[in-house]
Chains A and B, each alone.
Chain A
């Protein structure tokens, strides 16, 4: 009943919002809404929509209309979606969700002077040399560096193993910077093993390699879906090192049907946790759950924060629904460097390089919930 009420409320909100659409600033959201990466694209779409609904419901001068377009995580389709959105009169972009597509689209957006804030495209090269491309999430190398630093600072282990996805830029990006930093800090990587398929893969060999080398800590720069398989398969062979994940690991506790006891003691560096006790997170999680029946992951949170960052920047830059994308670009760049956002993923401000400055928090999973580590 609660759910129905919430949906009805959402519908009313949407209806009132659409009444006010005449002057709404159109924000383009490109991401994989179908295909194997649909979980990330849909989370971003939903998260952005919730933020936009909230802003529109406040009835201020700034109203947002979210226009979502599917790219299936592919660069070619991403550029197609980008062009289609501009045809539809989009003013600014909250795009794209996946790194590969983001690389292709951001180059075009840079040439054509369309302001773009990516919620979750994390490859380092996305923002390099492109003054109008900003991002909400951490870049890959920053996560690798922070992870190695954290492991050494807290003396979690001396022998480390890594299981990474060598067909995924996100995973490779973090892994490479982790490796470099580990060498610098004298952290010994005793075993490395790759895999290349996210679904239903067999990890017995990778796990055996970790076990054989005596890794006390296994670093998992991967998403939570394969991570859940690794945890389950480690448990079945009785191997229990410390598992250390990055932001892609967030979501593991919300995996439907997942036995949370398998994740007991898993540590991760993440800017967002759906279990956090602040009011902002609680409200967001409640709304998201009411609308979609699922607990939001960090992609949804990044998108939510992204919309609020856009709102603050739009306010400062004086961008309206009538501002052409290329006219909005430079004021938006200037504004982005001045704003500070208190969001779901922490307190954020941005530098001229487009990178966000926020601190990841280390959490450890205890009894099925995140607990701040130390």
Chain B
């Protein structure tokens, strides 16, 4: 028992260390202190989206990997977070134009994004979690599409501290902030790489602690065998809901950060394709493997940009790379050699540990 605990502890330690080292390296490259070690504009521009997608992937992994529910509507929570976060941040700007509250606005936006997405998570979780397997998947997809469809009809505007809202009618007095299908417009950029890094750390603390807690073990027990878990007195609905809502809240915070990184964001961004993209990160990184999600989200966000040299063949090559990677990593022969290799290394370290 003790060794298992220490193993998960060291695993988590590696994950944190990896993220922090990567962050420091990026900061170093950004500062340009070391000659020759500089970051291209292209990569610099991707830092915040990478952080956002890491949070999205880790949070989806909580639903898909840890809780074992296939969700195809994760981008829906992201959109709810993005729009509510933008609304709060822009409202603060409109209500208190004199004061310079950038940090407050950012934090308020993240918190609101998280809370609103959590509420959406509860509302959606109640019906969704009654279902199982592919039926659950299609209902999450349906919710993602409904949210997107509704956001296309929503209009918000500000007059100082007053908030105006309308459904389907764009003629609102004051400064329009959320403009139906044109999305949020005139957003003041607040997101930064540092904020993204802190959000990633926050997500890791929440998710890793949850996994290693009593609740986390209950969630995984339900995933592995629902009926057995129920029979030993685990409240199935409560724990499934817990995982689902935390996952939604984190996606909402990621959405808020995403929304505040661009001057505009449209509901069309959060369609089914984006949910699928995040799912690809999770599966490629390894289902249930948090560190894998972080790496996969980073690599797969940068990859299409690296492929720009191929011009219009870019997405074709991206698709081929994806298929080949899936085939190679799931090849039984390769898997068994990898496993045996792992076994050897693991045995060695155990022996060394014995010696010490």
Contact = CB atoms under 8 A, between A and B. Distances in A.
Interface of A: 33-35, 42, 68-70, 72, 74-77, 79-84, 86-87, 99-100, 103-104, 107-108, 123, 125, 166-169, 172-173, 176, 196
A75 B42 contact: no
B137 interface: no
B269 A173 contact: no
A74 B262 CA distance: 11
Interface of B: 40-42, 44-46, 49, 149, 152-153, 170, 180-183, 185-186, 189, 258, 262-269, 304-305, 308, 311-312, 314-315
Is the contact region of chain A dominated by helix, strand, or loop, or is it mixed? helix
A75 B152 contact: no
B305 A33 contact: no
Contacts of B170: 172, 176
A166 B263 contact: no
Contacts of A196: 149, 152
Contacts of B181: 166-169, 172
Nearest to B262: A104
21 contacts: A33-B311, A70-B312, A70-B315, A80-B46, A82-B45, A84-B308, A86-B41, A103-B185, A104-B265, A107-B262, A108-B263, A123-B182, A125-B182, A125-B186, A166-B180, A168-B181, A169-B181, A169-B183, A169-B266, A172-B182, A196-B149
B201 to A, nearest CB: 23
A158 B153 CA distance: 28
List the 7 shortest-distance A-B pairs measured between CB atoms, nearest first: A107-B263, A83-B45, A103-B264, A83-B41, A84-B42, A169-B182, A34-B315
B266 A76 contact: no
Contacts of B264: 75, 100, 103-104, 107
Given A83-B44, A84-B42, A176-B170, A70 B269 contact: no
Contacts of B41: 83-84, 86-87
Contacts of A69: 308
A125 B152 contact: no
B182 A76 contact: no
Contacts of B265: 75, 104
Given A83-B44, A166-B153, A172-B180, 12 more contacts: A34-B312, A70-B315, A76-B269, A77-B304, A80-B42, A80-B46, A80-B305, A81-B308, A100-B182, A104-B265, A168-B181, A169-B181
Contacts of B269: 74-76
A110 to B, nearest CB: 9
Contacts of A34: 312, 314-315
A68 B268 contact: no
Nearest to B263: A107
Given A80-B305, A83-B42, A125-B186, A100 B268 contact: yes
Contacts of A166: 152-153, 180-181
Nearest to A123: B182
Contacts of B42: 80, 83-84, 87
A87 B40 contact: yes
A172 B176 CA distance: 15
A101 B122 CA distance: 33
Contacts of A87: 40-42
A81 B153 CA distance: 30
B189 to A, nearest CB: 8
A99 to B, nearest CB: 8
Contacts of A103: 182, 185, 263-264
Contact of A100 (B149, B183, B186): B183
Contacts of B189: 107
Contact of A76 (B40, B180, B185, B262): B262
B153, B264, B267: which has the most chain A beta carbons within 10 Å?
B264
B261 to A, nearest CB: 8
Contacts of B314: 34, 70
Nearest to A180: B171
A67 to B, nearest CB: 10
A79 B153 contact: no
Nearest to A102: B264
Most buried by B among A42, A74, A86, A100: A100
